[in-house]
Amino acid sequence: MPILTIDGKTIEVEKGTTILQAAQRLGIDIPHYCYHPGLRIAGSCRMCLVEIQGVPKLQIACYTEATDGMVVFTQSEKVQQARRAVLEFLLVDHPLDCPVCDQAGECYLQIYYMQHGLHPSRVREDKLKRAKVRVLGEHIVLDQERCILCSRCVRFTEEVTRTFELGIFNRGDRSVVDVYPGEQLRNRYQGNLADICPVGALTDRQFRFRTRVWYLDQAKSICPGCSRGCNIVVDFNVRRGYKAGGRRIPRIRPRPNPWVNQYWMCDDGRYGFGWVEGLDRILSPKLLENGHPREIPWAEAIRLAGAWIGEAAREKKLGVLLSPRMSNEEIYAASYVLRSLGVGNVGYWAEPATPGDEDDLLIKADKNPNTYGARLITGVPQEDHLARMVEALSSGAVDTVLIFLHNLEQARAGRAALETLRRAKRFVFVGTNWNRTAAAASLVLPVTAFTEQEGTFTNFQGRVQRFWQAVEPMGQARSALSVLNELAASWGIPPLPDNAAEAFARLASENRAFAGLSYETLGDQGQTVRASEEPGVVGP
């Protein structure tokens, strides 16, 4: 295997590794625009030029393979000069509207100019005018003046989504990126274009102007939109609370994970998190009398729920429905607490998968983030737990129900079940948002959304992945874990630790599938419950 030296540091890499990748492994950042680890190498921007000993001309680091004995300099005077020259060319026609550009603050043209350029403009000619606000599709808008023609976006539609909507048209300084005539972006991954565009040419219509990126803080998380469990970063803004209409989370974006989502995420997940701060969030515990909610304090809510559930459990008249939208810890806590109470049939129900609503890239038909985990932890196969509960309710075998996080309205079977549930004597609903199921309940307990708590989901591959807390809970919402623990305490059952990491440790010590896993070993890339797999190439 080739051994090469970069800026005096030596590294051994596999054959076929490029200089840029080798440098990244050494922690040396070679400026680049067109190179993206998820796309084919184009070698068109020339930003990554480096000096190689014995080679008369500078070479591009993103395309040149490392060979044995190679000596590379990334900071020599020649290289610096080349970078300045490339930046100067890129800026010849650049509008420099940084103050109003949504990319400002995370723009690589700005960053590299500050690091390597810092030259005054020598251009006396007028700048070329191009289209400023070209709407390319539902989520993306293009500013052709800001484009540096790195072709990342074109390659993305060619290689990742294979939808071929974008191309580069005309020649020379008239070249522009655009959609093909009569076309528009209609793939379900277009949000990624705004992420991969190194400048502010492609911006996200939903995120645009909502805030400035320097107000944002980041938390690592997992998208709860489907059973793929794409790794994401939640960008939240608590320093300027009134931004984005008072909402704290203006955007989420993908976080690379070679085993799960590579560098991408789908638009359904990216734009479908509005509910975490929706107007329909349940902000305090509610007691419903004839469908009219009345706010009650938590202490009373716990006392009522404890009394109702405890009584029904003693009489063996309790039906429980967990949800695969709960985290592993919550499902574990629920089954531990309820089983300790003597409830036999603690099962979960998953809203049926949407057949056909999946593809080879990321989107899965099962829209729940933790169906696998729910099956592993409850030990119940995914057979129709809801139907059994409805039957028991109709026959009178059950008169009190406890339902977590469901929106039964969404599925046909659920709608039918809801009619029966309304007739239950007591119906405790634990959830995040108001829906018809919550409205049918007699007691509603608000719990935190995934952005407001810690936990893990197990995706369809059996990969257990952590998510971190981003923002404080909304209203009086509490984590389901702490609610379950308080209920356990009210029944005299030794509660689990309130801390998700310790609850997970308990789960790992009790459940064979999770054995050996802990928050430390999971890290931010997760681990599979089965024998670990090699990173699979996702998509075509």
**Interface positions with ligand FES (CB under 6 A):** 32-35, 43-48, 60, 62
- Within 10 angstroms of residue 510's Cβ, the number of other Cβ atoms is 12
- Contact positions with ligand SF4 (CB under 6 A) in 118-147: 146-147
Question: Which is closer to other proteins, CB of 208 or CB of 436?
Answer: 208
Q: Closest by alpha carbon to 342, among 371, 308, 368, 317?
A: 317
| Residue 223 binding result from ligand FES, other proteins, ligand SF4, none, given CB thresholds of 5 to 8 Å by partner type | none
Contact flag: residue 506 with other proteins (CB under 8 A): no
| Residue 177 binding result from ligand SF4, other proteins, ligand FES, none, given CB thresholds of 5 to 8 Å by partner type | ligand SF4
What's the CA gap between 189 and 365, in Å, rounded? Answer: 16
Question: Which is closer to other proteins, CB of 84 or CB of 134?
Answer: 134
DSSP per-residue codes, 329-368: HHHHHHHHHHHHTT---EEE--PPP-TT---SSS--S---
Q: Closest by alpha carbon to 159, among 35, 38, 21?
A: 38
Question: Which is closer to ligand SF4, CB of 126 or CB of 360?
Answer: 126
Radius of gyration of the chain (CA): 27
- Contact positions with ligand SF4 (CB under 6 A) in 92-111: 94, 96-98, 101, 103-104, 107, 109-110
Whose tokens are 């389901």? That residue is 480
Whose tokens are 């989520």? That residue is 139
Number of residues that bind ligand SF4 (CB under 6 A): 24
Question: Which is closer to ligand FES, CB of 18 or CB of 345?
Answer: 18
Question: Which is closer to other proteins, CB of 240 or CB of 316?
Answer: 240
For the bound state, the minimum distance from the C-beta of residue 151 to ligand FES, rounded and expressed in Å, comes to 9
DSSP per-residue codes, 112-181: HIIIII-------SPPPP--S-EE-BSSEEE-GGG-----HHHHIIIIIS----EEEESSGGG-EEEEPT
Site string for ligand SF4, 201-220 (x = CB under 6 A): xx------------------
DSSP per-residue codes, 65-122: BP-TT-EEESSSHHHHHHHHHHHHHHHTT----GGG-TTTTS-HHHHHIIIII-----
Choice from 212, 220, 388, 422 touching other proteins (CB under 8 A) = 212
Choice from 99, 120, 172, 396 touching other proteins (CB under 8 A) = 99
For the bound state, the minimum distance from the C-beta of residue 239 to other proteins, rounded and expressed in Å, comes to 9
Contact flag: residue 346 with ligand SF4 (CB under 6 A): no
Binding site for other proteins (CB under 8 A): 97, 99-101, 131-133, 208-209, 212, 214, 240, 242-243, 245
